[in-house]
Structure 1
């Protein structure tokens, strides 16, 4: 059985709307021509706007009908040649030209009224009296697209799909290279690799896991794209550390999900203090920590673990909305 555009559902919506638009334009243009009107239906949105809004600039007309400036310039020339509009100087800005309906244009619109009634009835017949609902749906769709372009909407849907596809998993030895790769890339992007970094990243088993810590990884489509670790710091203290997300996957909420998994593990561990060290130039990360329940406090006595650390925070518990 052969396929047609209907087979592909909403994926072909734009193509079907274009085809439907062409059919409607062709039918209306044929009706106009039969009635002795030589202007095409594409000219009349401008004429109606000029009738209802008065003299208007090309730029404003382009914005109102959602067409490019060159397209409206071309339509304006056609209307000028037909004598249904005139060009005039803007009284508020003599450098700007406005289009306005001529007497012939006003007469044309009055004469079009009976034919437009026929068009409205025909539209209702085609859409089975559902025209009001269709127009309301179009109004809502146009408003949404005005607020957010369709490309942005598609990108948001992609991010939502990818966010749902991310798994947070526990570390095992097979992930050693990914754990080191992601953290080294993050360090080299913002700072440099310190000796302690190299020690921990080169042997996470003995540096983190054997000491009672945990490492969590974010996996997307089989790739490790994020890391986070809980490192025992002596007594009842645990450090949240080694947070890294590959740049192309940032914006998917991966860091927050890693932190939430770390919170679960911390609460189950029986430890009493969860802290982190960071750097004040990492504003997005600091904002994430603050929104997750970390607060800025004075650093306890002793040196920071890393030279880059000028921020010390402790966790006060999960934030409730």
Structure 2
């Protein structure tokens, strides 16, 4: 029969919650044996007040990483038990400060031997290395959330599965679809675009150009092309579907195009773009393209940037 352990890290949150509940229950049982009816969940507040003096609920919430309503609820419990006091902040009477009462101070002093036993039991249970590990995890999650870490790992795994392949006739519609999608998002489809995208074999491949496709599984998710031009090639038709942007697919397509250009022995590789496409322009700049004056009028109405690849220089990696 399958058990939770068979799912590894996928159910770690469930396992940690079960362990947390067991630890809370154990400490609460010991507290009751020593005449303390407060839940162990309240004691992080008491520790902070003992070691830092009076604090506002907002400060406590920030330090404990808990919500203001949750801290307010626990503070009311502590006030009702008489272990904390409440007073106005002298610097701002709109803020209320909590502090340990004499009863709270006596309680904290009395429970010292219990906490020493709790720490010893934790070491017996999990070893001395567990607490530093949990502390590192807590600090790391404060810097970057677990959801963000999952997204980053998903993107990394997805990006590794992308392959750059040459054009095949069966992908003709994908080539056009991706470029039209990109053009309609940023500009509009010009007459020259319709001509090139509708017949890529005739307009790009037959004159000596190349088309590159980024494939993820059975889906074409990106394109780029080298179009034969006077003295060399034009880098063009660079598009990545919006759903998969952020996976460096454009970078992979650009690398493939540059590598192919270098193999041809041609002297010139240029591109035309638009100044509002700042992310794309930074990508070109980091990979060896330089801004130069336009030698002649563009055949695209949208183009106001002209860049040339310098094959004699080192390609600057992202």
TM-score (norm 2): 0.97
Aligned to 2:105: 106
Number of equivalences: 315
Secondary structure at the counterpart of residue 251 of structure 1: coil
The question of 1:97 aligning with 2:92 is answered: no
Distance 1:8 1:195 in 2: 55
- Counterpart in the other structure of 2:267: 272
Match of 2:234 among 239, 245, 270: 239
- The aligned runs of 1:3-42 (5 Å cut-off) are 3-42=2-41
Equivalents in 2 of 1:209, 1:294: separation in Å?
24
Tell me the equivalent position of 2:246: 251
2:168 to 169, 172, 182: 172
Cα distance, 1:320 vs structure 2: 4.3
Query: Which secondary structure state, in structure 2, belongs to the residue aligned with residue 67 of structure 1?
Result: coil
Listed as ranges, the matches of 1:78-227 within 5 Å are 78-127=77-126, 130-131=127-128, 133-227=129-223
After superposition, give the CA deviation of every residue in 1:237-284 in whole Å (9 maximum; x if it has no partner). 210000011001100000010010001110111100000001111111
Counterparts of 1:211 and 1:272, CA distance in 2: 17
Q: Distance in 1 between matches of 2:246 and 2:316?
A: 22
Out of 280, 283, 287, the residue aligned to residue 282 of structure 2 is 287
CA distance in 2, matches of 1:154, 1:113: 40
Corresponding residue for residue 72 of structure 2: 73
Gaps of 5+ in 2: none
Distance across 2 between alignment mates of 1:86 and 1:67: 21
**How many angstroms apart in 2 are the aligned matches of 1:272 and 1:161?**
37
Q: Is the 8 A contact 2:287 2:316 kept in 1?
A: no
Query: Which residue in 1 is equivalent to 2:50?
Result: 51
Q: 2:297 aligns with which of 303, 309, 312?
A: 303
Paired with 1:124 and 1:289, the residues of 2 have a C-alpha distance of 55
Q: Could you say what secondary structure the match of 1:227 adopts?
A: strand
Q: Deviations over 1:82-104 (max 9, x none)?
A: 11100011011011101000011
Q: CA deviation at 1:292?
A: 0.9
In structure 2, C-alpha distance between the alignment counterparts of 1:181 and 1:136, rounded to whole Å:
52
Moved over 4 A (4+): none
RMSD over aligned Cα, in angstroms?
1.0
Q: State which of 294, 315, 319 in structure 1 corresponds to 2:315.
A: 319
List alignment gaps of at least 5 residues for structure 1. Answer: none
